[in-house]
Chains A and B, each alone.
Chain A
Amino acid sequence: MSVLAIVALTVGVWGQRLAGGFLVGPLLERRPTLARAAGLIPAAVVMAVIVQLTVANGKSLVFDERLAGVAVAGLLVWRRAPFIVVVLSAAVTTALLRAL
């Protein structure tokens, strides 16, 4: 991780909270569709990161033990399991399959 990345991400991450709380928030109050769109950004973008972390190896798609672990996590999230159970189950599933 480069120094440039550390500085840029720090500014980007903390700055967006200020922008959200003090600029974007008041702006969105008068624009319901835009507000709805903003609320949906995490679903789309975070899901993209999940996909990348789960099935990508560089630029190729790899379906391996990670996918099984994340699938178990998905099932547990759907069943409203506690966070820590979700995370540990994903790791244990992946680790066990690799140990086979």
Chain B
Amino acid sequence: MSTEPAVAPAPRLSLADFATMAITFFSLGVTLQVVLIDNGTSAMRAFVASSVIFSATSQFAYLAVIDAGGGEWAAILAGVIVATRFGILAVSLTPRLPDGTLRRVAASLNAFDPNVAIAVQQPTADGVEREFWRTTAGMYLGWFIGIGVGTFLGDVLGDTQRLGLDAVFPAALLAIIGNLLRTADGRVAGIAGGLLCLVLLPFAPAGLPIILSLGGVAIAILLSKEPES
């Protein structure tokens, strides 16, 4: 269950990493705001939504379903299902933190892909917590500046399609699950889930293709040669 690289040298967050983290979340934030406002959400509501939800994946999944003519609850369900990723990240992060319910709750609530990936590579519990929060700070900084710029200066950017911003988020997601796709099981689950969605898209009610892509997990487990890990 736990992701213990044990002997691997523990990378600590350098200033360059911090900047990369901030720039990454900045670009996601700007893109999300521009798309939200393009989709008819008022600027203020878009800003509030991204501040409190703080999950571009969920918000994009929600928008994709609404865009396809899906109902409100189908869209919400799709948005929640894609966020299971965060729950799974919390599963690997939480046991590695120093004792203390409050600090564990606080860190778990902020589990994202990059901060957990960097944190769990630290050898000690204190190191895990320290690098986790340092990475998280970079993410928050970039995100809030990004959604601020996207909300209030989005018009200056002009036509987002012309800038290719609609390709930014799928590309970012691909990078996020890149390591998982490198594993044999992950690759099967990803390809199967993607194909299921592709085949279902034109026929199934909006939202369902994303939900039913969970079948890719079952396919990966069934096809996997490993008896029990």
Contact = CB atoms under 8 A, between A and B. Distances in A.
Given A51-B197, A98-B162, A45 B68 contact: no
B125 interface: no
A39 to B, nearest CB: 6
Contact of B108 (A10, A21, A87, A96): A21
A100 interface: no
Interface residues of B, number: 101
A21 B86 CA distance: 10
A97 B229 CA distance: 46
B173 A46 contact: yes
Contacts of A83: 20, 24, 172, 175
A86 B24 CA distance: 10
A86 to B, nearest CB: 5
B210 A59 contact: no
Interface in A85-100: 86-87, 89-96, 98-99
Contacts of A19: 87, 90
Interface string A46-61: 1111111111101111
Nearest to A94: B164
Nearest to A74: B174
Given A16-B83, A37-B217, A8 B76 contact: yes
A94 B63 CA distance: 21
Contacts of A24: 87, 91
B169 A13 contact: no
Interface stretch (B6-14, B128-136, B146-154, B181-189): B181-189
Contact of B53 (A13, A16, A38, A82): A13
A86 B217 contact: no
A51 B194 contact: yes
Contacts of B196: 44, 48
B80 A13 contact: yes
Contacts of B176: 46
Most buried by B among A4, A13, A66: A13
B34 to A, nearest CB: 12
Contact of A5 (B23, B79, B105): B79
Given A4-B72, A5-B72, A51-B201, 11 more contacts: A9-B79, A37-B217, A39-B180, A43-B190, A45-B84, A49-B60, A50-B194, A51-B198, A53-B166, A55-B201, A93-B167
Interface of B: 1, 20, 23-24, 27, 36, 39, 41, 45-46, 48-49, 52-55, 57-64, 67-69, 72, 75-76, 78-91, 93-95, 104-105, 108-111, 161-178, 180-181, 185-187, 189-194, 196-198, 201-202, 206, 209-210, 213-218, 220-221, 224, 228-229
30 contacts: A1-B41, A5-B76, A8-B76, A9-B55, A9-B83, A16-B83, A16-B86, A19-B87, A20-B86, A20-B89, A20-B108, A21-B87, A35-B1, A36-B224, A40-B186, A41-B88, A43-B177, A43-B185, A44-B192, A45-B210, A45-B213, A49-B210, A51-B201, A53-B166, A54-B167, A70-B171, A77-B178, A84-B27, A90-B167, A98-B164
